[in-house]
Amino acid sequence: MTAQSPGARGSGPEPDVLDFPLPPPGTMGPPAEAARLRENCPLARVRMPMDATAWYATRYEDVRMLLADPRLIRPTINDWPSRPGQPADDGPRLVTIAELDGPRHAALRRALAHPFSSRAVRDHLPRIRRLAERLLREFHEDGPPGDLVAGFTDPFPLLVLCDLVGIPFEDRDWFLPVLEAALGGMVTSQEGRRVTDLLRGYVGELIARKRNRPGDDVLTQLVRQCDDGALTHDDVMAFGLSMLTVGFGISSFFLADSVHTLLERPDLWAHLRDDRESMPGAVEEFLRYMPVMNGTVVLLATEDIELHGRTIGKGDAVIPVPASANRDERVFADADRLDLSRTGAITGHGGHLAFGRGTHNCLGAHLARAELTVGLEALLDFFPRLHLAEGREPTWDDESVTKSPLTLPVSW
């Protein structure tokens, strides 16, 4: 079967392996190719950046099924074939909750069920609001104009996570550059291995600190369960690494994308400002509409899987694309339109897949909803007339699959 390559030039037959779909420069996405693939080639073969290919699934029902398919696992670095000349063990050892399976994964999820539950997050809402107000007061004092990404949408989810988990927020000037280096070269480079070991050392020091000086935070709770034998040291390490690597970034992206979209549509900004009762539904619609996950979930097949007349072979990489699934016209009417009064966008069958599905669904879904809700409400309260700064355009990282503004110049 020959699929049409969205990245090809000219006419005539197109190669079976496509370029990885990316949004046009300076945009949020999803890539236009996603809609064409949903219609004509819902399971396509694409080139990944690490000199490998993967199956790229774009339809809602397929993505929903694949995310929960037990034949697909989250690969660790050791599951990927080495490049020519690369030693088999020359890879960074960054194991997070996403890479755990079986009893260890189940035990850690049980230990985290309460602190990340809807009730626990609801009890934490006043604290989350105070943290938002703290940042916005500082942002207000420094402007206008100001960069909302640097001043609020980036630090807010990180501050909330640090407060809940027990990571010192003041350490961010050290661990954020290390994180950037680790995630930028984590597949093959020796530098990726070195900085990943730095992160492991940092989390190990945090664990030791919580053991000696307990706090009122999630990490302290896990250390106690580790000392009681319910968890292993590596389990607690995996949690700490998870919080550093993915615990706050996606929330930052969703918040920045949501604010950017609202400011480009002043009528929607005014709607939310004047009708706060619509906020819960609006948040779910933002989660559906924002194409943050343009293809960043990579799974590995443990056995052959037949889909759409094609065979996903054992050992093949599979990329279910929630950003495409959430724009599937078969499920969401007028799917490319942001409709803050849309019904039926609640998580579940027929609802958005922003938080994944199955045993590895997003642990922090309730917290992410709270951060998006509180962040938007605080912005609307502090800056009811917030608008994009004249003559200063937002900037984007056009090389990243995960898309959100790098800068968002605003005034009030």
Domain limits, the chain? 17-411
Q: Domain spanning 17-411: which superfamily?
A: Cytochrome P450 (1.10.630.10)
Residues with Cβ within 8 Å of 109's Cβ and at least 6 positions away in sequence, in order, are 97, 359, 363
Query: In the 8-state DSSP scheme, what is residue 350?
Result: T
Q: In the prediction, which pLDDT does 9 show?
A: 32
User: What distance in Å separates the CA atoms of residue 320 and residue 21, rounded to the nearest whole number?
Assistant: 13
Rounded mean pLDDT, 13-22: 76
92: confidence class by pLDDT, cuts 50, 70, 90: very low
Q: Is the peptide bond before 144 cis (omega within 30 degrees of 0)?
A: yes
Q: Does 10 score more than 70 pLDDT?
A: no
84: confidence class by pLDDT, cuts 50, 70, 90: very low
80: confidence class by pLDDT, cuts 50, 70, 90: very low
Q: Does 146 score more than 50 pLDDT?
A: yes
For residues 275 and 188, is the Cβ–Cβ distance under 8 A?
no
Rounded to whole angstroms, what are the CA distances from 3 to 34, 37, 405? Answer: 13, 9, 32
Q: Does 8 score more than 60 pLDDT?
A: no
Q: In the prediction, which pLDDT does 6 show?
A: 35
Q: In the prediction, which pLDDT does 336 show?
A: 95
Rounded mean pLDDT, 320-328: 96
402: confidence class by pLDDT, cuts 50, 70, 90: confident
User: What distance in Å separates the CA atoms of residue 394 and residue 51, rounded to the nearest whole number?
Assistant: 32
Rounded mean pLDDT, 232-246: 94
User: What distance in Å separates the CA atoms of residue 41 and residue 216, rounded to the nearest whole number?
Assistant: 51
> Which helix (H) or strand (E) element contains residue 406?
strand 405-407
Q: How many residues does the chain have?
A: 412
Q: What one-character-per-residue DSSP string does 22-75 give?
A: -PPTT-----HHHHHHHHH-SEEEEEETTTEEEEEE-SHHHHHHHHT-TTEE--
383: confidence class by pLDDT, cuts 50, 70, 90: very high
Q: Does 324 score more than 70 pLDDT?
A: yes
Q: In the prediction, which pLDDT does 189 show?
A: 53
Q: In the prediction, which pLDDT does 192 show?
A: 66
Site of tokens 């006419």 = 11
Site of tokens 């105070």 = 130
Q: Does 75 score more than 60 pLDDT?
A: yes
Q: In the prediction, which pLDDT does 390 show?
A: 93
User: What distance in Å separates the CA atoms of residue 145 and residue 392, rounded to the nearest whole number?
Assistant: 10
99: confidence class by pLDDT, cuts 50, 70, 90: confident
Q: Does 11 score more than 70 pLDDT?
A: no
Q: Does 345 score more than 70 pLDDT?
A: no
Q: What is the average pLDDT score of the chain?
A: 88
User: What distance in Å separates the CA atoms of residue 201 and residue 224, rounded to the nearest whole number?
Assistant: 20
In 3D, which of 272, 250, 275 has the Cα closest to residue 263? 272
Site of tokens 């993505």 = 63
pLDDT in tens, 155-203: 999 999 999 999 999 999 999 998 887 766 444 456 767 888 899 999 9
Q: In the prediction, which pLDDT does 86 show?
A: 47
Q: Does 326 score more than 70 pLDDT?
A: yes
- Here the tokens at position 329 are 């016209």
Q: In the prediction, which pLDDT does 5 show?
A: 35
